[in-house]
Amino acid sequence: MIREIDASEFELVWPIYRAVIAGGDVFAPSPDTTLEVARRMWAEPPARTFVATLDGTVAGSYMLRPNQPGLGDHVANAGYIVAPEARGRGLARAMCEHSLTTAREAGFTAMQFNYVVATNTGAIKVWERCGFAVVGRVPKAFRHAALGPVDILIMHRFL
Amino acid sequence: MIREIDASEFELVWPIYRAVIAGGDVFAPSPDTTLEVARRMWAEPPARTFVATLDGTVAGSYMLRPNQPGLGDHVANAGYIVAPEARGRGLARAMCEHSLTTAREAGFTAMQFNYVVATNTGAIKVWERCGFAVVGRVPKAFRHAALGPVDILIMHRFL
């Protein structure tokens, strides 16, 4: 079950967000990001925020927004996080497909990911299965907690 | 002469900003962007803003900021605008070189442009002369006022 929330409900997402940034391996915000800063980036307009529930518990979240203002606002951007204990159950795939439908309904004609960590091969496979292709690669743009500087990928698909 | 300003001095930049967005050919913000929205995007922290003066008049501006938070904040992002009447006098090149020095001094180790309109060939040549290389291309991500949807380039260099 996936439903939209507003910024005042970000506390539902925060335990997952905090667990994901704690790893320092897949996501730009640093492990010491505060709840209020995370809320601003993930849940305040123009971002829209969704939560996915598994067995009655919030286990994942995604956010959807225009990737650029004005003459670039036909391209959506999205981000996805999954609780560590809920990995391997298809949640990222389900949220990605849901976000593609939501983006189409909102009038976007494409979706772009700006910052896919190149060593996060599990996620990259999911995005490829959801129709995304790599359109760019930026060297050493992410300071991976265990691996040091690694590349990031830019991924894209039309809707 | 290039000097740093703060957000309260954005009115110095606004006539140039407004002239650049009016063209709808090189920059994401739409022609109807208000001064306050432009100030927020161009001049409020974490962005730093600089103006370039030619013959005693402000003729160009650039902004410099981290391209990502946290584990991506070692990569700078920058944007440059030049007054239409000051084009062809090397101002973009001078501001770009100045921004590279400023970024190095601020501790950044690379710079990335996220949104270079692929038909803006004059600018692309300047960025290449400043050491940038194309690392990505997103199809039809900019709605060009005259040409319709055109590609955008992602450009990068280490510092």
Give how far A117 is from chain B: nearest CA, Å: 10
What ipTM was assigned to the predicted interfaces of this complex?
0.95
Look-up of token digits 């990911």:
A113
Count how many domains chain B has. Answer: 1
Would the CB atoms of A138 and B140 count as touching at under 8 Å?
Answer: no
* pLDDT at residue B5, rounded to an integer: 98
* pLDDT at residue A58, rounded to an integer: 97
Please count the residue pairs, one from chain A and one from chain B, whose beta carbons lie less than 8 angstroms apart.
101
Do the beta carbons of residue A103 and residue A78 sit within 8 Å? yes
A→B interface, C-beta within 8 Å: 21, 24, 27-30, 33, 37, 41, 67-72, 74-75, 110, 112, 114-115, 135-145, 152, 154, 156, 158
pLDDT in tens, A106-143: 999 999 999 999 999 999 999 999 999 999 999 999 99
**For strand B48-54 and strand B133-144, is the pairing parallel, antiparallel, or unpaired?**
unpaired
Contacts of A138 in chain B (CB under 8 A): 75, 112, 135-136, 154, 156
Would the CB atoms of B75 and A114 count as touching at under 8 Å?
Answer: no
Tokens of B34: 């208000």
Q: Please, is A148 exposed, middle or buried when counting C-beta atoms within 10 Å of its C-beta (0-12, 13-18, 19+)? A: exposed
Q: The CATH number of the domain where B11 resides is what?
A: 3.40.630.30
Percent with pLDDT over 90 in chain B? 99
Closest CA to A62 of A159, A147, A127: A127
Cα–Cα dist B47/B65, whole Å: 5
Would the CB atoms of B136 and A140 count as touching at under 8 Å?
Answer: no
Give how far B78 is from chain A: nearest CA, Å: 15
Q: What is the CA B65 to chain-centroid distance, rounded?
A: 11
B→A interface, C-beta within 8 Å: 21, 24, 27-30, 33, 37, 41, 67-72, 74-75, 110, 112, 114-115, 135-145, 152, 154, 156, 158
Give phi and psi for A108, each to the nearest 5.
-70, 150
Which DSSP letter does residue A146 get?
T
Would the CB atoms of A112 and B144 count as touching at under 8 Å?
Answer: no
* pLDDT at residue A21, rounded to an integer: 97
* pLDDT at residue B112, rounded to an integer: 98
Pick the residue of B71, B73, B132 with the most A CBs within 10 A to test the interface with A by mutation: B71
The tens place of each residue's pLDDT in chain B, 159 residues long, gives 999 999 999 999 999 999 999 999 999 999 999 999 999 999 999 999 999 999 999 999 999 999 999 999 999 999 999 999 999 999 999 999 999 999 999 999 999 999 999 999 999 999 999 999 999 999 999 999 999 999 999 999 999
Domain region containing B61 = 2-158
* pLDDT at residue A62, rounded to an integer: 98
Cα–Cα dist A116/A113, whole Å: 7
pTM: 0.96
Cα–Cα dist A64/A77, whole Å: 6
The tens place of each residue's pLDDT in chain A, 159 residues long, gives 999 999 999 999 999 999 999 999 999 999 999 999 999 999 999 999 999 999 999 999 999 999 999 999 999 999 999 999 999 999 999 999 999 999 999 999 999 999 999 999 999 999 999 999 999 999 999 999 999 999 999 999 999
Tokens of A141: 């743009």
Pick the residue of A112, A137, A138 with the most B CBs within 10 A to test the interface with B by mutation: A138
Give how far A143 is from chain B: nearest CA, Å: 5
